[in-house]
Structure 1
Amino acid sequence: MILEPENPTRVANAYASARASHIRWRNTCYSAPNDHKHQCSGVVAAKRRCGSRVVSRNHFFKHSRAFLWLLVCNMMVMDQVRSQLLINVQNQGGEVIQESITSNIGEDLITLEFQKTDGTLITQVIDFRNEVQILKALVLGEEERGQSQYQVMCFATKFNKGDFISSAAMAKLRQKNPHTIRTPEEDKGRETYTMSSWVQLNRSLPITRHLQGLCSEAMDATYVRDVDLKSWADLSGSSISSLEAATEKFPDTLSTRCNEVSSLWAPCLCTLETCIGWYPCGLKYCKGKGTAGVDSSGAQQQQTNYRCGIKTCRKCTQFTYYVRQKQQCLWDE
């Protein structure tokens, strides 16, 4: 896995193609003989008819160049704003799963998604602007126990910058061998989160605008912690009152784990654990070819470092949260 700049040849070719197309249009509309039916308007000699359009030489000169540059810039932006990697990852059980990692520079967002061997679909979204991490779990129902559909849960937590490489760095990642089975360099163990409140999705904008769309199927199963609300409140433009208004606290009296409850319809505390088997958790830096020393003028030369790769990690997360019925937590037994 390497970091490399975007290839300028692709943009140059797109520019040349678009420019040639505009030149052909201009020659057809302004330089062709009368048998192409180019007629002056009779009012302003600089205006001519091209097909069904009346165009001005001055208008064409100004606006076609603007359009051309807009086209080229859009192609450059679209090539750099979004990028996707498909990574083959070997989990601790020796099974290989495929992760999809998408970077969106414009939104400053990274999305990581994969399907576990039991069918559970995991989606991790990192919103760097708001320092929010969303983990969405879609768990298939157990038909033999009366669950014919799937469940969706979302967990919004405070994201610490530096735990994942930036969206801009992620967009520059390229694979030399896409079919290689990857294993992480470092295991960061397991982190435990005890959730304290539900999120009201229709009021979740103060947390992040991405929460409502991503977790629309988890209307009553999106969770947050009080400690994270307080951390977000310290960010510029945020307030604890608007954040708390987007949440509803769990009942205070409940402390029984679901694996200790016999009735399927009784409320309890559920535990869900998931592991991200491979993700870019940091950048690697290499030293420049030159060495530190003194140049011919006597000035001290400094050795330069440049980004040349990534550090990869594995991390598990365990969430504990309130469910109104044990039926919503059959795996925790």
Structure 2
Amino acid sequence: MRPPCRPAVPTVRLLLPLLLSLLGAPRGVGAGPAELRVRVRLPDGQVTEETLQADSDADSISLELRKPDGTLVSFTADFKKDVKIFRALILGELEKGQSQFQALCFVTRLHRNEIIPSEAMAKLRQKNPRAVRQAEEVRAPEQLHMDIAVNFSQGGLLSPHLHNVCTEATDAIYTRQEDVRFWLEQGVDSSVFEALPEAMEQAELSHCRQVGDRGKPCACHYSLSLAWYPCMLKYCHSRERPAPYKCGIRSCQKSYSFDFYVPQRQLCLWDEDL
């Protein structure tokens, strides 16, 4: 006798726990930045907490997470100035004679399709704070050649966020010629930018991992990853609403690799571990 067939169980698609609260009252002028803490899974499988802040008045978004090795990575998107700032606070190894930490800042042009608007980010809520989030989309990694230095004392002309974000990295703020050309066309003063030694542009420098003398200049490499961030808005359709309406977000993960000049090998000691 054949066993009775069980009816097929329909696949239930779980709703995204992070939803946009579209009916909430608008944030008033002078209100503090909205903050969201999310547990995220890193590319290596480990879990960390990520803090996201959105300030719709300043039209900016910031993200911060701590890597398992203690490195603090932050990302700031300044929509008003078309600027994004990456910062890494890298812990030193005191037994190797390194300083307590080293700070790096990388400044590039912000494109509007990279991350959701600050107003939408400020309305994000999550139902289950203990859930571990994993990005729905892994975007193609970027390799960036940073061949221009940013003058910290004039950095506020590029973005008002630069002084606060890069205050520990006054001598290690880098950008690219192609982004500088765009900002100059937007009216940013040229005093913000300083050319790095031509040897870096001509690829004459050795990679730091190949240089034994810690006092010599070299081409340094650093990589970081944004493990989880809201990169797109989702739109839904219904019979009750003739026009599409916002109903959630799509999350992304993206990695960045930076090559840049350092005047001394000892300013790029993490390259020893590559």
Correspondent of 2:132 among 181, 199, 216: 181
Q: For residue 102 of structure 1, report the CA deviation from its aligned partner.
A: 0.3
Asked if residue 209 in structure 1 is aligned to residue 155 in structure 2, the reply is: no
Amino acid at match of 1:307: K
Aligned to 1:83: 34
User: 1 or 2, which has the higher helix percentage?
Assistant: 1
SS at match of 1:283: strand
Between the aligned partners of 1:167 and 1:6, the Cα distance in structure 2 is 16
Moved over 6 A (4+): none
> % of aligned pairs identical?
37
Aligned to 1:152: 103
Q: For residue 6 of structure 1, report the CA deviation from its aligned partner.
A: 5.4
Aligned to 1:230: 181
Query: Contact 2:63–2:74 (CA<8 Å) still a contact in 1?
Result: yes
Aligned to 2:191: 245
Q: For residue 224 of structure 1, report the CA deviation from its aligned partner.
A: 1.2
SS at match of 2:139: strand
Moved more, 271-280 or 190-199: 190-199
SS at match of 1:89: strand
SS at match of 1:205: helix
- Unaligned regions of 5+ residues in structure 1, if any? 9-72, 292-302
Between the aligned partners of 1:153 and 1:258, the Cα distance in structure 2 is 16
Between the aligned partners of 1:141 and 1:246, the Cα distance in structure 2 is 29
* Deviation digits for residues 288-331 of structure 1 (CA, Å, limit 9, x no counterpart): 2338xxxxxxxxxxx31100000110000001111111111111
- Unaligned regions of 5+ residues in structure 2, if any? 1-17
SS at match of 1:304: coil
Between the aligned partners of 1:201 and 1:169, the Cα distance in structure 2 is 31
Between the aligned partners of 1:247 and 1:163, the Cα distance in structure 2 is 24
* Structure-to-structure mapping, 1:269-288, within 5 angstroms: 269-288=219-238
Asked if residue 200 in structure 1 is aligned to residue 151 in structure 2, the reply is: yes
Correspondent of 1:3 among 13, 20, 28: 20
Query: Contact 1:6–1:172 (CA<8 Å) still a contact in 2?
Result: no
Between the aligned partners of 2:231 and 2:165, the Cα distance in structure 1 is 23
Q: For residue 162 of structure 1, report the CA deviation from its aligned partner.
A: 1.3
SS at match of 2:128: coil
Aligned to 1:296: none
Amino acid at match of 1:283: L
Aligned to 2:208: 258
Asked if residue 320 in structure 1 is aligned to residue 270 in structure 2, the reply is: no
Between the aligned partners of 2:28 and 2:85, the Cα distance in structure 1 is 29
Amino acid at match of 1:290: E
Between the aligned partners of 2:95 and 2:183, the Cα distance in structure 1 is 42
* Deviation digits for residues 153-194 of structure 1 (CA, Å, limit 9, x no counterpart): 111100101110000000111101111100011101310111
Amino acid at match of 2:38: I
* Structure-to-structure mapping, 1:10-89, within 5 angstroms: 76-77=28-29, 82-89=33-40
Q: For residue 249 of structure 1, report the CA deviation from its aligned partner.
A: 1.0
How many residues align? The count is 251
SS at match of 1:204: helix
State the superposition RMSD in angstroms. Answer: 1.7
Query: Contact 2:72–2:89 (CA<8 Å) still a contact in 1?
Result: yes
SS at match of 2:170: coil
Between the aligned partners of 2:157 and 2:24, the Cα distance in structure 1 is 39
Aligned to 1:129: 80
Moved more, 108-117 or 139-148: 139-148
Q: Looking at both structures, which has the greater relative contact order when contacts are Cα pairs under 8 Å and sequence separation is at least 6? A: 2
Between the aligned partners of 2:268 and 2:74, the Cα distance in structure 1 is 19
Amino acid at match of 2:162: L
Query: Contact 1:82–1:105 (CA<8 Å) still a contact in 2?
Result: yes
SS at match of 2:180: helix
Between the aligned partners of 2:29 and 2:184, the Cα distance in structure 1 is 33
Moved more, 145-154 or 162-171: 145-154
Q: TM-score, normalised by structure 2?
A: 0.87
Q: 1:76 to 1:127 in 2, by over 3 A?
A: closer
Between the aligned partners of 1:103 and 1:246, the Cα distance in structure 2 is 26
Between the aligned partners of 2:50 and 2:140, the Cα distance in structure 1 is 19
Aligned to 1:162: 113
